[in-house]
Every structure is written in C-alpha cells, then in structure tokens.
Amino acid sequence: MDPERQQQLEEAVGFAEQRADALDEALRDTAERLAAALRRIEALEARLSTLETGSNAPEHEDPPPPHSGRLPGGR
C-alpha cells in the first residue's frame, strides 16, 4: 500500500475514534441529565400527590383551643 494512502487512512481512523469518544461522552452526559430530570419530576409528582390527597394531615385533628382564634377545619 502506498505510504501516503496509509497515512490518510490512519488519520481518518484516528479522527473517527476521537469523534466516537466525543459522542460517547455527550451521550453519557445527556443520559445523566435526563436521569436527574426524571428524579426531579418523580419528586415533584410525589409532592403534588401528597398535596392532592392531604396525606400529610394527621388521621384526626384535635379541635383548636378556644383561645387560638382559629375556626374548626383550620380556617
């Protein structure tokens, strides 16, 4: 094989390897960012579900003391 042609092929292979490594890194970064976004969405959904169902509220609330100025039901 012609030495010039061999050098061109080696350069092309080196460039392709470098580009593949860069794409791998970009894909890995994107996957990590996507996983973080999904974790954040899941946490937000859990908070929204808690707010919708009121599951943070105790099973039964004691009535407020008469001097608290609060109406029954937390109003």
Task: Supply the pLDDT for residue 32.
Answer: 96
Rounded to an integer, the average pLDDT of 1-15 is 93
The C-alpha atoms of residue 47 and residue 42 are separated, in whole angstroms, by 9
Contact 46, 38 (CB under 8 A): no
- Which helix or strand (DSSP H or E) is residue 36 part of? helix 3-53
Query: 52 vs 47, 49, 57, CA distance in Å?
Result: 9, 5, 11
Confidence of residue 11 (pLDDT cuts 50, 70, 90): very high
What pLDDT does residue 1 have?
Answer: 79
pLDDT of residue 51: 86
Residue 50 one-letter amino acid: T
* pLDDT tens by residue, 23-75: 999 999 999 999 999 999 999 999 998 888 876 555 566 666 666 666 666 65
Query: Higher confidence at residue 1 or residue 56?
Result: 1
